[in-house]
Structure 1
Amino acid sequence: MRDADDEAADASHGTRDAYDLDDMERVAAAVLPRDVWDFVAGGSGRERTLAADREAFDRLYVTARVLRDVSARTTDTTLLGRPARLPVAVAPVAYQRLLHPEGELAAARAAAAAGAPFTVATLSSVPVEEVTAVGGTVWFQLYWLREPGLTLDLARRAQDAGCAALMLTVDVPWMGRRARDARNGFALPGHVRAAHLDAGARSAAHGAPVRGSAVAAHTAAAFSAGLTWSDVAELRSLTRLPLILKGVLAPADAARAVELGVDAVVVSNHGGRQLDGALPGVVALPDVAGAVAAAGGGCEVLLDGGVRGGVDVLKALALGADGVLVGRPPLWGLAAAGEAGVRRVLDLLAAELADALGLAGCPGVGAARELDVTRLP
C-alpha cells in the first residue's frame, strides 16, 4: 500500500513538470479526495458564473505595441503603499489544512518568498499570529459576524499581529448554494478548524448534516446578513490599517467606497461561489475603475476571479486594475507539494507576466495600463 510520503513525492515531481497553471490544477485534482476537490473547485448554482469568469478572459485580446525597448523588464510594483515583486496577491481562502498539513503557513512562506501579499481568512485553519510570524506582507480578511463586537475584535487582533491591511468581504451575507458540497454532505475533518472562532461557533462545520453541507450551515449561523455601509464607516473609523472591500461589482458601490475612505476595492463575484449569474469581474472591471477615478481616486482597484496566467494579469492591468488576487491556483500548488507547490505557482505567474509584458511592448507594470484591449464575440 502507498503511504503519504509516496504520494507527496509523486506530487512534488508533478510540480516540476508543471509548465503552466493548468498543469498544476491537474496534479492537485489527482491527489485530493473528491469531496475536498469539489469544495475547492466548485461554484454555486449551475456554476454559470464560475465558467463565465474564464470565458470572459478568453474573449479578451490585447493590442500589442512594437518598437519599444523591452530589453529590461520588471514586474515590480506597489500594492497598498508597500513594494511587491509582482502585481499579484494571494486571495483569502478558508481551511487550507484541508489541502496540506501546514496549510496557511506553507502558503504564506511561499508568498513571502515570491514578494506577494498573503491574505489570512477569517476562516483560516491557522491563527493570524502564526502566519504573520512567517514574514512578508500579510493582509487579513474579515467576514461580518452576527456579533459585530467579535468582528471588531478580530480586526484589532489582526492589527496587533502585524497585518498590513484589512479586507472586508461584502458579498457573503450567507454562503451561496453550492450543489457539489451539498451532494457530498461536505463537513470538515476533526483536525481542521476555524482558528479564529470559538469552539461553539466552529462545531457546526464538523458535524455532517442530515442533508447538505455542514460548512454552509456553519457560515449561515456565524455570518451576519445585516452588513451595511454604516458598518463599513465604523470599521474605517476604528482602524489605522488600509481598508479593502472585496466583492464589489457595481460602479456606484465603488464610488461610495471611495467616499468613505476605503483604500482599495476588489472587483469580485467570489470566484463564482455566491450569486450564480453574477457578472464576471473582468467584465465589471473597466466601469468600476472608471467610477473610482471619477470619485477622486486614491483608492486602488484589484481584480479577483478567473486569473490563470500572466497574460490574464496583463489584461487586468490594461483594463484598469492595480493588481489581481489569485485564489484557487495557490491551493493547487499547496495540495500538490505544500510550500514548494505554491512557490511554483507564483513563479509561473511571475515568469508568464514578464514574458507577456515584453511581448506586448511594456517594460513594466505601469506601461501595461496604456494597452488597448478588445473583447471579441
Structure 2
Amino acid sequence: MKTYLVGGAVRDELLGRKVTERDWVVVGATPQQMLDAGYTQVGKDFPVFLHPKTKEEYALARTERKAGQGYTGFVCDASASVTLEQDLQRRDLTVNAIARDQDGRLFDPYNGKQDLENKILRHVSAAFSEDPLRVFRVARFATRYHYLGFTIAEDTLELMRSMASSGELATLTPERVWQETARSLMERSPAVYFTVLSQCQAFEEWFCELPSPPDPAYDALTKSATSGMPLENRFSTLCTGLTEDAVKSLAARLKMPNAVSSLARLAATLSCHIDGQLDATTIIAMFDAADAWRKPERFSALLDVFTVTANARGIASWEHRNHILLSALEQARTIDVKAIIETGVKGPDIKAAVRDARCEAVNHVLTSEDATQK
C-alpha cells in the first residue's frame, strides 16, 4: 500500500502558488484495509476516505469506463490492482496528473511538469471527452492561470469543440455549471472563462442571454475583479445590457443564488439610468425599484456595478451622476414617515405624501448640484 499526493496540490507547489487543499491517492489497498487503519469512508460512487487526524481526502486509485451520458455516467474500478499510472491517466489535464510520493519524488508519466514549464493546458488522453464538465473545468483553469501566461493546447481546444457539438453539455446539472462559473468569476481575469467557452462553441448552450465576448460588458467584468468586488457584483456587470426577463431566464437555468440573481435583475432593469435623464421623479422610481429604503447596501452595490460599467463604456458623466444619486438617497431617507402620518394624512394619501416629500428632498439636491455646476 503506497500513498501519493496528487492533483492540484502538486501542480500549485510546482508553480509556487499557495496550496490550500491536499488530495491523496492510495495504491494497492482495499476499502477494508483503509477502515482498519482508522479512515472514515465518505465516497458513495467510489471509495474515498478521510484521514483519522488531518481529515484530508484519500481516494483509492481507480480507473473509469464510460457507461452513460453526462459526467456521472461512469463505471469505476478501485481494486487493489489499479496502478498509479492508470489512476493518473483518467485525470483531465497533464498538469493535474502529477503525483509525489512521501519521499518527495515526482511521478509524471504524462509530462505534466513540462507542460507547466511551457504554460500549456493539455488533456491527458482521449478519455477527456467522456466527461462534459471538463469543458468548463478547463475554461476555469485557463482563467485561474491566465495571469501566468497559460494557454490551452490547440488539440485540447479542438476536443472541447467536438464535445460542445455532441450535445453532451446539456446533460450537466445547473449546480455544477454554476459552481465552475462562480469560481471563475472570482479569479483575477474572469472574462477569460467566457472567452474560452465562446472559442470552443460552449457559450451558447448555457449563457445564450449574455453578450458574446468580446463586448464592453467583459471589460466591466475585468474592472470589477480588479476592484475586488464580490461575486454578485461581478456577475451583474454582464447583465447591464439585458432585459429583466433575460436575467430571470439565465438565473433559472443556472439555479444561481438569490443574492446574485436579484442584483443582476436590478442591474438589467435600472442600467438605463447610467446615462439617461435624471429628475426627481425618475430618481425616486429608481430608489423604489431597488428598495433602497430598506436595502441601501444593495443599492450601493448596484452603483458600484454601474461605476465599472460606465468606465468600460467611457461614460465620463457617471462620476457626477453617481454622486447625485448617493446624495439624493441620503436626503430622501431623512423623510420621517411617522411625522407625515401624525399630520393627519390617512390611507392611500400617506404613500403619495411620502413620495412628494422625498421628491422635494431630491429636487433640493438637484438644485444644489446645478448651482454648484454653474
- TM > 0.5: no
Q: Which has the higher contact order (CA 8 A, sep 6+)?
A: 1
As a proportion of its length, which structure holds more helix?
2
- Whose Rg is larger? 2
TM-score, normalised relative to structure 1: 0.27
